[in-house]
Amino acid sequence: MIAPGAWLGVLGGGQLGRMFAAAAQNHGYRVAVLDPDPHAPAASFADEHIVAAYDDQEAWKQLAARCVAVTTEFENVPAEALRFLADHCFVAPKAHHVAAFQDRGAEKAALTAAGLEVAPYKLVESFDDLRGCEHLLPGILKRIRWGYDGKGQARVKTQAELEAAFENFVGPCVLEKQVALAKELSVVAARDRHGNIVTYPTAENHHENGILDTSFVPAHIDPKTDTLAQSLARKLLAHADYVGVLCVEMFLLQDGSLLVNEIAPRPHNSGHYTLDACTTSQFEQQLRVLIDAPLGDTRLVRPAAMVNLLGDLWADGEPDWAKVLAAPHTRLHLYGKREARRGRKMGHFTCLGEGNEAPIAQALRLKQALTPQTETAQVAAG
């Protein structure tokens, strides 16, 4: 095991890097973060902030010289950076895993190879590939790379809409058939270098405009579905020989079947509830994998409801945090971002409770109380 006092590196200085740094420092480790933004959320938490582009090879050398192990906080880092670092220190996740999950086509191929079902889809690299797609309409056209939080995606119902969306994206895409959803679920899981696997409780997720809005744990699903969701996450980790923390996002269809939607090779927004509601948070788990410590207990201590705080809430100025801080069994997490923009994740809060429904009810009340009056008026007018 890598002993406390050692330096650990993180590629990415967003909120996930910030929370990893906090977990590592709480355990006595020092953290170096590589991120081009001098005001990145993790910068104020890191012991050292290397301000450089992710493809800066001199920065890679600096990180490699400092750290005994390196991880990532988002998947769109250059895989070549991870390959370079792996020659000098322990790296998790591995470059080939990150490369596969950066590309929706490669991702779906990996899922299929692992025996997991995905929604019907087709790779679209040219206008010729748009022929014969009628069976996939209505569908969702997604850019192969750099799509997240609803970005780089378009819902299409007709051939004309499909062609217009493809022309707008200018590059390879995946066309997925729209499926009849009952719920959206996710499972955060971890696998260490010895093949041991742990999974966190299944989360039920609700999105608005393609961005995660709320997560409820435990999910409102039957035990059979829960067992299946957990087993799919374990199956993927084992088949891929993956080392690290990842999140498996799934669709529960109205017929009761489960499809795998996407993989995030890192801690995930839907797993933020683990900071307050689980014995071991997803970020401490990421640390444990990196330092080769035994995987932590993932049990849910109390039911939880997590609400994302987007930049939209700042429309009338700084939100009234007193409403959240005064609420019992509620934890507020702000990410330290300097600029609030629409759709930008600025923080989250988590409500805990003794029963499954109490934290959900409180979370939704607080969410409504924080909603700016201008937005409320617009909704009412609409």
pLDDT of 30 above 60: yes
Which residues lie below 8 Å from residue 152, measured CB to CB, with a gap of 6+? 142, 143, 145, 146, 169
Q: In the structure, what pLDDT confidence band is assigned to residue 170 with cuts at 50, 70 and 90?
A: confident
Residue 102 CA to residue 287 CA, distance in Å, equals 23
Q: Using a CB cutoff of 8 Å and minimum separation of 24, what contacts does 34-39 make?
A: 34/9, 34/10, 34/59, 34/63, 37/13, 39/338
pLDDT of 146 above 80: no
Give the pair of three-digit tokens for residue 60. 């890679």
Give the pTM.
0.94
Judge contact between 185 and 250, C-beta under 8 A. Answer: yes
DSSP type of residue 263: E
* Confidence at residue 210, expressed as pLDDT on a 0 to 100 scale: 86
Query: How many Cβ atoms are within 10 Å of 239's Cβ, its own excluded?
Result: 14
* Confidence at residue 149, expressed as pLDDT on a 0 to 100 scale: 62
Q: What are phi and psi of 106, to 5 degrees?
A: -65, -35
| Mean pLDDT to the nearest integer, 23-33 | 98
Q: In the structure, what pLDDT confidence band is assigned to residue 375 with cuts at 50, 70 and 90?
A: low
* Confidence at residue 373, expressed as pLDDT on a 0 to 100 scale: 74
Q: Where are the alpha helices (DSSP H) in the chain?
A: 15-26, 57-66, 79-86, 95-102, 104-113, 159-169, 223-240, 274-277, 282-291, 322-325, 357-370, 373-381
pLDDT of 83 above 60: yes
| Mean pLDDT to the nearest integer, 208-222 | 95
Residue 181 CA to residue 264 CA, distance in Å, equals 20
Q: CA torsion angle for 227, 231, 234, 238 (degrees, to 10)?
A: 160
Strands 304-310 and 345-352: antiparallel
pLDDT of 145 above 90: no
Q: In the structure, what pLDDT confidence band is assigned to residue 69 with cuts at 50, 70 and 90?
A: very high
pLDDT of 51 above 60: yes
* Confidence at residue 379, expressed as pLDDT on a 0 to 100 scale: 45
- Residue of 331 and 169 predicted with greater confidence: 331
- Residue of 170 and 332 predicted with greater confidence: 332
Sheet holding 173-177, edge to edge: 121-124, 173-177, 139-143, 153-156
pLDDT of 377 above 70: no
For 314-365, the pLDDT digits (tens) are 999 999 999 999 999 999 999 999 999 999 999 999 999 988 899 999 999 9
Domains present along the chain, CATH in parentheses? 7-91 (3.40.50.20), 120-177 (3.30.1490.20), 181-381 (3.30.470.20)
pLDDT of 376 above 80: no
- Residue of 209 and 32 predicted with greater confidence: 32
Percent of the chain beyond pLDDT 70? 97
* Confidence at residue 217, expressed as pLDDT on a 0 to 100 scale: 98
* Confidence at residue 152, expressed as pLDDT on a 0 to 100 scale: 85
pLDDT of 76 above 60: yes
| Mean pLDDT to the nearest integer, 4-13 | 98
Residue carrying structure tokens 């590592």: 24
- Residue of 109 and 376 predicted with greater confidence: 109
Judge contact between 272 and 350, C-beta under 8 A. Answer: yes
Q: In the structure, what pLDDT confidence band is assigned to residue 225 with cuts at 50, 70 and 90?
A: very high
